[in-house]
Amino acid sequence: MFASWTSLERSAFLTLLLFLKVTSSTHGRTEILIGAVFSKETGANGTEEEALKLAIEYINDDNEKYAGIELKALVKYSDPMDDFENIEQVNSLLSSNISILIGPMETSAVIATHPLCSRASVPQIAPLTSLEIISEGDSGLNYLLRMSPTEKLKAKAIAEIIKRYKWETMAVLGYQNKEAPEGHSSFRLIANGNEWNMVKETLISPDPAGKQGNLRMASMAIDYLKDSQSTRLAVMFFPAWTVEKFMKRVNKTLQTEMGNWTWIFSNFGNRKEDLLGSDSGDIPDYMQGLLGIRPTVGKGARFEKFKNVWQQLIPGKEVSVSVGRVYDSVLVAAEGIKRALRNGVALPSNQTYRGFCSSSDKQEENTSGEELAKYLNEVEVEGVMGKIHANDPDYAGSAYFDVLNLRSTGEYKVGEWNTTGLHMFENEKPIWPSNSSDIPLDIPNILKGKTLRIATILAPPFVMLKNGAESSSNETKDFEGLSIDILEEISKRLEFNYEIYQAPDGKFGVKNRLTREWNGIVKEIRDKKADMSIAPMTISSDRQTVLDFTQPYMTFGLAFMIRVQEVNGNYFRFLLPFSKYLWVAICVLVMVMGFSVWFCNLFSPLGYYGRCTQAQSTKQLKPEVLKQVDTLSLNNSIWSSWKAYVRRSAEHPRSWSGKLTVSVFWFAVMIINATYTANLAAYLTVSRMQTPIETILDLSRQTRIEYGTLKDSQLQTFFQKTDVPSYLVMGQFMEQRKLWMPSYEAAINRTLEGDFAFISDRPILNYVARQDKHCGKFKVTGGFGNTYGYGFAFELTSPYTPLFNMELFRLQNEFVISSLTHKWTKERVNCELVDNFEEQQQLGSTVQKMSVQNMLGVFILLAISVLVGFLIMIMEWIYASAKDARKRIQGRKTCCQACGTRLLQALRDMCCPKQKTTLDNKKTDD
């Protein structure tokens, strides 16, 4: 019905409805007048006013929760940028004896009008104000309640976006109005705390023409951005209405360079019209790729119900932030009024407002307004936008922001922020001004077209020579490895070339304690012979004083590699997983189970043998039954048990007692065999990888097996300068015996000779141990010390470091580095023995012989099954004897007599197998 009405008709209907409700209010309902000031831009009957009326209608209809309250609205309109007009309208509302004022919607107007409300002791609710204002009346009460999060919170959200993309260099611009400078200042504090490089921090003066102006004052800042060679990232604290105007001027200045810039805005307004001036779906070219935030709509518990009513009232019109804030403002007002009335506050106040033009210097005291303000500040209620804490709009339950990305077809939500952190959607990545989803650089690409000279040393699998290349080769094409592949990926993205050469002394680089001079790669970079290094250099505090390092592209721990022991030949190693006592117990078990099966077969009336010897007459037995009489003789029973143990087809007992016993035996055999198989695999693998030294402490407590590390490496410095006594002693031991290895190749050869442990970075040792020629010869173990990282090294304060940092972040985010790591550490070097050993270690497997005690539960289970089987056999015997007694076979009158006769017959047949007789034969002989 509402869909066919015009906005004027809808407004008239709601106004009439409110009027009828007020005039027909029952005795005892208190009429409370709420004033509101809305923008002339939306006009009368705008969406904010519709939200106000809906909220009042909801409150007045709820006779249970808001019994005795009748709200009535008095709405005024003003130019949000005209402070005097707003003051005039608020003065008019206060003169009408309103109890609460909602609005104005513009922060500057709120600042201008709030002194009036404070003077009149009338609480004021600001739906959209984000400025953190503390304005207290003479009583110390806060008469202003904000419904929107502060600019400080917006600054935190923007900072989280910056952190998410690892940007560190930026220009931070702000618009000098009432709100933006607060966000600008808060962000700068966060940036300083994170040690970000803000190459430009400025506030742009407001345009004299206000919203009708074209931001002429922004020209200087834009010119600076154009000429900047320090950054390509701009963080903007501007009101929403300035975004289009600013970007239009930027487009005229930067032109073809627009795609190289990234723009992050703190305010995309409360609705799409705030950005473009209309709800058109088209985004201008110069605004495509922008990223910004807007308060989230729909997080409140009341949202779905409100949305359904709203769509019926205004079909096709989405719920905007301003609509939700106005609705929630009425809820807060109603909740405060309810509390005040319950506590005896007289509302509405009968105080006379003298107005700002009054000749009286002192306004009459409004105690009702003071009390109402106190209760309003205590309100906590579920709203449309979230859970509302009237005295804390930054509360986690109501402070949500959408991260929006502008594209040609409109706005796209690509993430969400709240006080718990930022969540960027994996399936909806931003499209930047470059028209790509690749994370843009925050600085200009000054490497494009350049050729870098790169120093390195051979360190598998990071830097190696290809097969056939000479060991002293300095040809770039002769190198391969993980670091080479990472460098190649970065060079493609940053469009530079490179030349690789080996450091003349083949060392990473340490400082000489006497001359204080550096050697190795460090010296090459410091002497400007190399622009950078891609060798796996550990990032250390000493090196960071003379070099710039990128963020770590790999973290690792320290370990040592040692030659495994030669395993002595043993033709009976397959017996080692079980102790000799367990093997004896298994043999006895097979014999006992064979005997048990035979016993059940012999005495049970259902067994192969028992059913023949205890039959009434041989004439009643089928020929095939007689043929099966010796199926489970003593020999056959023992043999059947052995066949069951080795998983071969075995004869099945016929009696239930025998079946139970055999079933449990089969289950026990399954457990024993499975345990043997698993333990044998672990024993053969782990025993093959046995070494006399298992931990770094084992290594430090002996001197028979020598140990060393690479000369002039970070590890050498670590052992010489450490504060840990045991490691310091190890360093002195290596120094005394001259165990510093000149190269990785020399260290590997020394380790192969035996009685030597090479201490180094775990990734390098793992690669060496997995190579085909070394597979099964080395064991890498004994992780110790802290976790370290590899980084690419540059000259101190190099402009190239931030570029490499950004690309390394991209490669990690796209899992390129992890894919390359797997390629060089797993695919290229496949050692099954090492894989099995690592798997055993992860599972916590150790070499341990299984004893009788380990398998005692299995034997107990078997013993119980044998006892239960015997009980079942006795029950079978009693049942058969009872049947004999009922049929009076051989004159037996009682069950006991029949049972005794059967027992005698079974014993006679067992002792004299050659004189087998049935019960009928015995009767004939007598």
Mean pLDDT of successive 10-residue stretches along the chain, which has 926 residues: 51 48 52 90 74 91 86 90 89 89 89 87 89 56 84 94 92 89 93 91 81 73 81 92 89 86 92 72 88 91 90 85 92 91 80 58 71 89 87 74 92 92 92 91 90 94 88 87 95 94 91 89 95 93 92 88 67 64 74 69 60 57 58 62 60 64 69 71 53 77 89 87 88 91 91 90 88 84 79 93 89 90 85 68 51 60 69 72 63 65 66 48 40
Buried b (16+ CB within 10 A) or exposed e, 704-743: ebebbbbbbbbbbbbbeeeeeeebeebbebbeeeebbbeb
Joined tokens for residue 851? 């004893």
Alpha helices in 6-137 (DSSP H): 7-23, 47-61, 83-95, 107-120
Residue 451 has φ and ψ, to the nearest 5°, of -120, 120
Q: How far is residue 406's CA from residue 216's CA, in Å, rounded to a whole number?
A: 24
Tell me whether residue 538 is annotated as binding.
Answer: yes
Q: Which residues pair with 85 in a beta bridge?
A: none
Using alpha carbons, list the distances in angstroms from residue 403 to 94, 152, 180, 546, 875. 39, 16, 18, 40, 79
Q: List the one residue out of 284, 241, 234, 288 whose CA is nearest residue 262.
A: 234
pLDDT of residue 688: 47
Q: How far is residue 604's CA from residue 612's CA, in Å, rounded to a whole number?
A: 10
CATH 3.40.190.10 corresponds to the domain 446-553+791-829: yes
Residue 37 has φ and ψ, to the nearest 5°, of -120, 120
- Do 816 and 489 form a contact (C-beta atoms < 8 A)? yes
Q: How far is residue 114's CA from residue 357's CA, in Å, rounded to a whole number?
A: 16
Q: Please give the CATH topology (third level) of the domain spanning 558-567+688-786.
A: D-Maltodextrin-Binding Protein; domain 2 (3.40.190)
Alpha helices in 170-272 (DSSP H): 180-193, 219-227, 240-254
Using alpha carbons, list the distances in angstroms from residue 197 to 695, 769, 905. 45, 44, 105
Residue 879: strand, helix, or coil: helix
Q: List the one residue out of 170, 813, 815 whose CA is nearest residue 429.
A: 813
pLDDT of residue 147: 87
Burial of residue 746, with CB atoms counted within 10 A of its CB: 0-12 exposed, 13-18 middle, 19 or more buried? middle
Domains 446-553+791-829 and 558-567+688-786 share a fold: yes
Q: How far is residue 113's CA from residue 419's CA, in Å, rounded to a whole number?
A: 31
pLDDT of residue 24: 43
- Do 39 and 77 form a contact (C-beta atoms < 8 A)? yes
Alpha helices in 100-239 (DSSP H): 107-120, 151-164, 180-193, 219-227
Joined tokens for residue 347? 């509302």
Q: List the one residue out of 513, 843, 912 whose CA is nearest residue 678.
A: 843
pLDDT of residue 831: 80
Residue 697 has φ and ψ, to the nearest 5°, of -70, -40
47-61 and 7-23 helices, crossing angle to 10°: 30
pLDDT of residue 618: 57
pTM of the predicted protein model = 0.66
Supply the DSSP string of 657-704, one letter for each residue.
HHHHHHHHHHHHHHHHHHHHHHHHHHHHHHHHT--S--SHHHHHT-SS
- Do 291 and 430 form a contact (C-beta atoms < 8 A)? yes
Q: How far is residue 341's CA from residue 866's CA, in Å, rounded to a whole number?
A: 84
pLDDT of residue 76: 92
Q: How many other CB atoms are there within 10 angstroms of residue 785's CB atom?
A: 15
CATH 3.40.50.2300 corresponds to the domain 151-301+398-424: yes
Joined tokens for residue 14? 């709601």
- Do 128 and 147 form a contact (C-beta atoms < 8 A)? yes
Chain-centroid distance, C-alpha 830: 31
Q: How far is residue 334's CA from residue 107's CA, in Å, rounded to a whole number?
A: 23
pLDDT of residue 486: 96
What are the domain boundaries of the chain? 30-148+319-386, 151-301+398-424, 446-553+791-829, 558-567+688-786, 573-683, 852-881
Chain-centroid distance, C-alpha 479: 37
Burial of residue 91, with CB atoms counted within 10 A of its CB: 0-12 exposed, 13-18 middle, 19 or more buried? middle
Radius of gyration of the chain (CA): 44
Tell me whether residue 543 is annotated as binding.
Answer: yes
Helix (H) or strand (E) holding 493: helix 482-494
Strands (E), 521-630: 532-538, 547-549, 554-563
Q: List the one residue out of 274, 390, 319 whose CA is nearest residue 51.
A: 319
- Do 35 and 351 form a contact (C-beta atoms < 8 A)? no
Q: List the one residue out of 350, 347, 354 whose CA is nearest residue 95.
A: 354
Supply the DSSP string of 56-88, one letter for each residue.
HHHHHH-TTTSTTEEEEEEEEEE-TT-HHHHHH
pLDDT of residue 183: 92
CATH code of the domain occupying 30-148+319-386: 3.40.50.2300
Q: How far is residue 547's CA from residue 633's CA, in Å, rounded to a whole number?
A: 87
Torsion angle defined by CA atoms of residues 475, 481, 487 and 491, in that order, rounded to the nearest 10 degrees:
60
**What's the residue count for the chain?**
926
151-164 and 180-193 helices, crossing angle to 10°: 40
